Amino acid sequence: MRKQAMHTPIVTLGLSPCNLIGTPAIGTGGAMTHKQQGFRWHPDAQLFAGAEPVPRSVLPVTSHFCAIHAANTADALPALGSAMQSGWGFCLYDGIDPAGLGSEPDQFITLSGGSSGQPKGILRRQSSWIDSFDTNRQLFGYTAQDRIAVLGRLSHSLALYGVLEGLHLGLDAFALDPVPIRRQASVLAAERISILYATPTQLRMLVRGASDEPLPQIRLILCGGGALDDSTAQTVQTLCPNAAIRVFYGAAETSFITLSGPDTPLASVGQAYPGVTIRIRDETGRETTQIGEVWVRSPYLFERYALGQADDTQFRDGFLSVGEMGRLDRTGNLYLMGRKTRMLQIADQTIFPEEIEVQICAATPIAACAILPRPDPVRGHRLIAVLEGPANADLAAEVQQLCRERFGPLIAPKQVLFHPALPLLGSGKIDLPKLSKWVEDQA
C-alpha cells in the first residue's frame, strides 16, 4: 500500500489527463465495448461547487493516492477532478486522521456514516460504483440534458456517489454544500437541476429554506441514508411537483440494496436493486421468513475496511451482512427493523428504536427525533425520546400517548426531551453518541 502525499490546492494547467477506457456520451448512441475500470471525468460533463464552475485541471502530487480534505467543498472538488483525470486512488475525508490510508489506482476509500461511533474507511474498487452508474442510467432514463445535484459534504458516500455518477456519465454535477441552506432551492432552480441525491434530513432542511416557488424542473429525487417519513415526502412532493421520489436502502459497505417504486408497500424500502440478491437468516444462519439478519450478494460490495472495524460486518458464502435486521414479504419487498447494535431488550421484548422513531415522525409535525436507551434495574432498559424543536408539553404528552397505544406502556418513552437542533454527522444522520452525551448532561 502506497504512502499518500498531502497536497495544496494549487492548480497546474497542461498536465496529461488519465488514459482510462472511456464510456460513451449519453447523447451519442455509442456502444460500450470495454468494461470501465476507473472513474473518468467525461468530456461533456461540467463540475460545480455551488454555482461556481470547477476548472478541468490537474493538481501536482507526488504519489498515486490523494487524501482530500472534504471540509471545504470548493477546495476538495479540484483535487477530486485531478484524481479522476490522472487515474489515482483517493479518499475524501473529514473527522479522521488520513495518515496511513492508501489504495491501488483502481480503488478508492469512502467513509461510513459514523452514526454509532467513529467513521470507518470503506475500501472499494471503482468498478463497484461504475457498475451501478450504467444501471441507473437505464433505470431512470438519464439524458445529456440532465444535471445532478447533491446537498451533502463529499466525505459522505451519498454525495460523493452523485457527483461521480454525473461526471462519469457525462452529466453536469453540482455539489451544493457550499450554498447556505436557505439558498439551495434557488440554486436548484437557477441551474435547472433535474436529478437530486439527498438524505431525508437534507430534504427536510431544503423544504424549510425554500420559498413558495416550486421546483418543477426536478424530475427525480433519489433519497437514501434513512427512513423518509410521509410528512417529509408530501412536502417535498409539493416543492417538486414533477419529481419521482425513489427511496433506496443501502450502506457504505454495500451501496444499493433495494429501490422503491410506485407500488412499494407502506413501510417497505422496496425490492432488490438490479443485480442484488437478498437473504434473511436467523441466528443459526438458516433462511427465515420471519425477522432476521439481512444478507446481500451483489457486484456493488466493498473490499474491506481501510480504517476501523465493525464487529457486525461479516462475509459468508459470497454474502455480506452489516448487522441490519429485517424481513422479506412474499413478493420480495424488504422491511427494515433496525441495526443489531441498537437492538435492545425491555422486559424480555426485543425493541428496535428506529421503528419507534419512524412512527413518531410520521404522526407528528416534528422534523426529527431519536430514541435513546437508559439502564433500568427492573426491565433492563427504559427509553427517552429526544425531539427536535422548542419545548412543548402538549407535544410531549401526545408522543407518549401515541407510543403507549402503538407499542404498549412498557415500551413507550418514559421521558420526552426537546433539543433545538439535533446534532448531525456529515452524512446528514443524527450523531447518536453526541446526542446521548447531551441527554446524560440533562440529568
**344-442 shares the fold of 47-335:** no
Helix (H, G, I), strand (E, B) or coil at 83: helix
Q: What is the pLDDT of residues 16-61, one digit of tens each?
A: 222 222 333 343 333 333 345 799 999 999 999 999 999 998 877 6
Looking at per-residue pLDDT, the higher value among 406 and 348 belongs to 406
Q: What is the dihedral of CA 273, 274, 280, 281, to 10 degrees?
A: -130
What's the pLDDT score for residue 254? 96
Percentage with pLDDT > 90 across the chain: 64
Three-class secondary structure of residue 71 per DSSP: coil
Give the tens place of pLDDT for each residue, 276-308. Answer: 999 999 989 999 999 999 999 999 999 999 998
Q: What is the pTM of this model?
A: 0.80
pLDDT given at position 238: 96
As given in the structure block, the three cell numbers for residue 127 are 468498478
| Strand extents, DSSP E, 18-88 | 47-49, 52-53, 65-69
Side chain identity at 89, as an amino acid letter?
A: G
CATH architecture of the region 344-442: 2-Layer Sandwich (3.30)
Which of 174-178, 202-206, 337-341 is predicted least confidently?
A: 337-341
Q: What are the residue ranges spanned by the domains of the chain?
A: 47-335, 344-442
Q: What is the four-CA torsion angle of 14, 40, 194, 144, rounded to 10 degrees?
A: 80
Q: Which of 117-126, 316-325, 344-353 has the largest mean confidence?
A: 316-325
Categorize the per-residue pLDDT at 426 as very low, low, confident or very high, splitting at 50, 70 and 90.
low
The Cα 192–Cα 62 span in angstroms is 39
Region 92-116: what's the mean pLDDT?
A: 86
Helix (H, G, I), strand (E, B) or coil at 12: strand
- The three-state DSSP-derived secondary structure of 246-268 is EEEEEECCCEEEEECCCCCCCCC
**Which residues share a beta bridge with 90?**
66
Looking at residue 424, what DSSP letter applies?
B
Instruction: State the pLDDT at residue 32.
Output: 34
- Going by pLDDT thresholds of 50, 70 and 90, the confidence category of residue 117 is low
Find, among 335, 272, 279, 325, the residue nearest to 300 by Cα: 272
Strand 147-150 to 172-175 pairing? parallel
pLDDT at 332: 96
Nearest to 165, CA basis, from 192, 138, 202: 138
Q: Which three cell numbers stand for residue 330?
A: 412474499
Pick the range with the lowest mean pLDDT from 313-322, 324-333, 368-377: 368-377
- Counting residues of the chain whose pLDDT is more than 70, the rounded percentage is 89
- Interval 210-225: pLDDT, tens: 988 999 999 999 999 8
371, pLDDT greater than 50: yes
CA–CA gap between residue 278 and residue 276 (Å, rounded): 7
Buried b (16+ CB within 10 A) or exposed e, 40-63: bbbeebbbbbbeeebebebbebee
| 173 phi, psi to nearest 5 deg | -125, 130
Q: How far apart are CA 152 and CA 5, in angstroms?
A: 26
Q: What is the DSSP string of 47-64?
A: EEETTEEPP--B---SSS
Give the CA radius of gyration of the chain. Answer: 22
- pLDDT at residue 116, as a whole number: 54
Which has the closest alpha carbon to 251: 267, 233, 273?
273
DSSP 8-state assignment for residue 185:
H
Query: If you average pLDDT over every residue of the chain, what do you get?
Result: 87
pLDDT at 23: 31
Of 91-105, 181-195, 233-247, which gets the smallest average pLDDT?
91-105
CATH 3.40.1640.10 matches 47-335: no
